[in-house]
Structure 1
Amino acid sequence: MPNRSSMRDVARAAGVSLQTVSRVANGEPGVVDDKRDRVLSAMRELEYRPNSAARAMRRGAFRTVGVVYHSLHSVGTHRSLEQISERAAAQGYGTTIMPLVAASGLAANGAFTRLVEMAVDVVIVVFPSPFGAGSLEIPTSLPAVVLGPPQGHGSSSVDFDQDSAARLVVEHLVDLGHPTVHHIAGPQESFAARARVETWRSILEAHGLRVPTLRYGDWSAESGYVAMRQILADEKATGSGAPTAIYAGNDQMALGVYRALAEAGLRVPEDVSVVGCDDVDEAAAYAPPLTTVAQDWAALGEQTMRTALAMAGGAAPSDTVLPMRIVIRDSTAPYRG
């Protein structure tokens, strides 16, 4: 491989000083047209490429955000990455995406090391569940923002109010007179799923209502279908009758719930009210349109970048919780007894 041309080579070929080459490379004013043309010509002839990393180190900023994540399986991770990348670009920052081969502290720590070597200003960790093997060690030299509950390590956090998500759903269904609310939760290792389960249970207990057997899914429509069939079988076996209200952990699982209920000859919402979470684009097109909880992904992207840039600028760690809202459509109705 041929040696890479240096700024000194360009200066020598153009017959100007290193300072002049630097000004031209950085697009700075104060260089007469003749000298600028000679420098640009020399750059082309020598195939000179400015060393942006070295220049950034001198300035103390790389204008690059690193993002660490494990899987794009969930809607939340996909939308988070999309919004962060868009908001970063709007601020004039590039985004370096670092997928993990495993959801472990060891894998994450390796990613942090690589990002430090790749020269980023701040790292954003999309953190939907605990990392398993190995402790999470974010380098002190790397400002970090975690998308999820606070994790310490000197990092900031940005998250949706998962408690309010479950509260909005359960209170809505209780207000409609349903004797209880069955819940199909997301994966047990999910931070969001855990928080919603605790709130679901506590609200039912506060109203003096029966707490049904909890079922888990994996965010997929198929898992919602399987869980709903289990709930129907459980209620039949105990003689409790068909459930009248279902809270699915996300809209995809709610779609599986629709299928299981239809196969059982039960109608939504005449026989069973169903609520999801995420308010995916397709939720309004479900038959019937799905009542769900909306998360403002644009606000998440904006707040995450605002926090990330503040951390990169030396700000103290902070924790931000964003509100959620219920979108009532046609999949819920008053209890008919």
Structure 2
Amino acid sequence: MATTRAEQPRSPSIRDVARIAGVSHQTVSRVLNNSDAIRAETRDRVLAAMEELQYRPNRAARALVTSKTRTIGVLTAQRSHYGPTVTLQAIEDAAVLRGYSVTTANIAVPTDAAVRDGLGHLLDQDVEGIIVIAPQQRVFDIIEELGVRTPYVTLRSSINEDPTALWVDQMEGARLATAHLLDLGHEYVRHIAGPQDWIEADARMQGFLREMSDRDMPVQPPILGDWTADFGYLAGRELLRWRDCTAVFCSNDAMALGVMHAARSYGLDVPGDLSVVGYDDIPEAKHFWPPLTTVQVDFAELGRRSVDILLPSGEDVLRPIDIVPQLVVRGSTSAPRRR
């Protein structure tokens, strides 16, 4: 026979914990709120009782008492991509260590309405702070337009004077990749960029163009891609049809994988006939064949630092510090073969 709602066992309450621990329910409340006025042995008894009863504090009820939800919000887009996924996981881990939970709003299609809805969703839950890892410029414009008063941290790709911004020097990472190919002796280097409306893609493209310009090297217009290996394959097939380049720098590792596939489809050797560099250093990059030379970004550290800035501990208020990508040289690049 089915169990009715009334017959279901109720969850343990704060008064049950107090009874088992032999203290008042006010004492249990003080333990939950990390009061310094509780003796260590009393705290231990309360925590033991909570463990015995498998008691989990009701966040909504605590919020009514403390006026704090102990929740931070994350506004993100394209959660399927490697960088945002790793950053989000690091944010969640760092938040848990501080006793916070994380709620997310994912922008599937980066329209103005979707951005406003995502921000509204987070603000309606009374989050204590927001971390923005959505990569489109319009997201930052809308935040400023709405005059959001909740503390927030944005992850940017170029330096500015915004005290809420934590930035990754994507341009420098792209220059490292391009310089590596030029230092090997390549004169004809092409770039497959990411989507035009992504800040990271634009910064990486600008880094490529600046490095080529500073070296007085001939430059062909970058190809605007979509981050996928499928696009890298199609773009690679078109580029290699004419064999007018000896190296390709791709704005992410997935497109680099597609380019390597395209080279193989023409019977070309990587790196003998074509050197390929990616960006991001996804875990699979070292297992490509040949292993992919790429630019590594510490996306996990980016997530941890964003929480440090939003929820500073003690008297240490961290200022935003740039994260500089690192070049990882593997087997997909070499000096151009003499023709």
What is the aligned partner in structure 1 of residue 25 from structure 2? 21
Distance of 2:197 and 2:106 partners within structure 1: 19
Distance of 2:221 and 2:162 partners within structure 1: 39
Distance of 2:332 and 2:202 partners within structure 1: 25
* Ranges in structure 2 where 5+ consecutive residues have no aligned partner: none
What is the aligned partner in structure 2 of residue 198 from structure 1? 206
Post-superposition offset of 1:331: 0.7
What is the aligned partner in structure 1 of residue 127 from structure 2? 120
Report SS of the residue matched to 2:102.
Answer: strand
Residue 150 of structure 1 contacts residue 156 of structure 1 at CA under 8 Å; is this kept in 2?
no
* Ranges in structure 1 where 5+ consecutive residues have no aligned partner: none
Post-superposition offset of 1:73: 3.2
Residue 167 of structure 1 contacts residue 200 of structure 1 at CA under 8 Å; is this kept in 2?
yes
Distance of 1:151 and 1:144 partners within structure 2: 17
Post-superposition offset of 1:117: 2.8
Distance of 2:177 and 2:156 partners within structure 1: 21
Post-superposition offset of 1:297: 2.0
Q: Where does 1:74-153 land on structure 2 (aligned, <5 Å)?
A: 74-131=81-138, 135-136=142-143, 137=145, 139-149=147-157
Task: Give the number of equivalent residue pairs.
Answer: 311
Post-superposition offset of 1:229: 1.5
What is the aligned partner in structure 2 of residue 330 from structure 1? 331
What is the aligned partner in structure 2 of residue 73 from structure 1? 80
Pair 1:212 & 2:220 matched: yes
Deviations 1:15-58 (A, max 9, x none): xxxx943332343647x99xx99xx9xxx9xxx99653453465
Q: TM-score, normalised by structure 2?
A: 0.79
Deviations 1:66-121 (A, max 9, x none): 11113223211111111111221223221112223531333223333332332221
Report SS of the residue matched to 1:183.
Answer: strand
Distance 1:267 1:70, change over 3 A: same
Deviations 1:113-149 (A, max 9, x none): 3323322211111121233799334554310111224
What is the aligned partner in structure 2 of residue 267 from structure 1? 269
Distance of 2:104 and 2:269 partners within structure 1: 44
Cα RMSD, aligned residues only = 3.7
What is the percent sequence identity of the aligned residues? 33
Deviations 1:293-316 (A, max 9, x none): 0011221122111111139x9969
Residue 84 of structure 1 contacts residue 301 of structure 1 at CA under 8 Å; is this kept in 2?
yes
Residue 266 of structure 1 contacts residue 272 of structure 1 at CA under 8 Å; is this kept in 2?
yes
The correspondence for 2:290, drawn from 288, 291, 294, is 288
Distance 1:275 1:134, change over 3 A: closer
Q: TM-score, normalised by structure 1?
A: 0.79
Residue 157 of structure 2 contacts residue 169 of structure 2 at CA under 8 Å; is this kept in 1?
no
Pair 1:229 & 2:205 matched: no
Report SS of the residue matched to 1:135.
Answer: helix
Report SS of the residue matched to 1:310.
Answer: coil
> Which amino acid in the other structure matches residue 304 of structure 1?
S
Q: Where does 1:144-163 land on structure 2 (aligned, <5 Å)?
A: 144-149=152-157, 156-163=164-171
Residue 169 of structure 1 contacts residue 247 of structure 1 at CA under 8 Å; is this kept in 2?
yes
Deviations 1:245-293 (A, max 9, x none): 1101111111100111111121101111110011111111111111000
